[in-house]
Amino acid sequence: MIVFDLKCSKGHTFEDWFGSTQEYESMKEMGELECPQCGDSDVTKGLMAPAVAVSSPSDAPSCSADPGGTPGCGMGGCGGGMCGFE
């Protein structure tokens, strides 16, 4: 599964999940993609976001899973110092 940032011709942005880029292409081809805000089917693909949750700092899954010292933690990867890494 991959998530795409999509944007309609009116500038609304939203995300949608697809099984593959090909699935996205065929849905677009069939006009099955539409903006949830205005129903516009002229939707274009923006940046492809990898399937990682970086939008929610409270999750910090990689850090809390390895409190002993995840390499990224020292670099502020955890934000709130959840790793106990000084």
* Residues binding Zn ion (CB under 5 A): 8, 10, 12, 35, 37-38, 40
Closest listed residue to residue 14, CA positions, set 31, 41, 36, 32: 36
Query: How far apart are the C-alpha atoms of 64 and 68, rounded to whole Å?
Result: 9
Min. distance of Cβ 44 from Zn ion in angstroms?
11
Min. distance of Cβ 37 from Zn ion in angstroms?
4
Radius of gyration for the chain, computed over Cα atoms and rounded to the nearest angstrom = 18
* Token pair 């399937």 in the structure block, residue: 51
**By C-beta, is 12 or 45 nearer to Zn ion?**
12
**By C-beta, is 35 or 60 nearer to Zn ion?**
35
Min. distance of Cβ 20 from Zn ion in angstroms?
24
